[in-house]
Amino acid sequence: MAESDNIDLIRRFCAAWSKADIPALVDFFTDDALYHNMPVQPVQGKDAIKGLIEQFMAPFERAEFEVRQIAAAGDVVLTERVDRFLGGSRTVELPVMGAFEVRGGKIAAWRDYFDLPSWTRQMS
């Protein structure tokens, strides 16, 4: 795939979070995909990724991923984002750097780098 196609895939993935449709989000991944939020242990495979997304989304109605910067080099797409998780009167806002590896039009690896204490503080 061209770099522009890879960027488009990741933009669509980030935009899809606002619909809170977890099966649709999981469909963006390869069957053997790796998802690693750097402060915690990685998970591999669609079922494990689905479980982790469900865990993150449980207290929220939806999320918005604001992509501030995006760049690609071959099959790697980097994002600078602000991820907002919204539910009831609670909003958790998290600056994130993300690295995506694309294979065959799907996400084969997703690594996010963020400050876990910021997440924890906002969740309490």
Query: In the chain, where does DSSP find H-type helix?
Result: 3-16, 22-26, 46-57, 116-123
Each residue's pLDDT tens digit in the chain (124 positions)?
A: 799 999 999 999 999 999 999 999 999 999 999 999 998 899 999 999 999 999 989 999 999 999 999 999 999 999 999 999 998 888 999 999 999 999 999 999 999 999 988 988 988 8
Q: Give the whole-angstrom CA distance, residue 12 versus residue 16.
A: 6
pTM over 0.75, yes/no: yes
* Pairing between β-strand 106-113 and β-strand 29-37 as defined by DSSP bridges: parallel
Closest among 32, 28, 123, 31 to 85, alpha carbons compared: 123
Please report the pLDDT score of residue 89 as a whole number.
Answer: 83
Q: Based on C-alpha coordinates, what's the Rg of the chain? A: 14
Which domain range does residue 26 map to?
Answer: 3-123
Which CATH number does the domain housing residue 112 bear? Answer: 3.10.450.50
Check residue 88 and give its pLDDT: 80
**Structurally, how many domains does the chain consist of?**
1
Element (H, E) at 101: strand 90-103
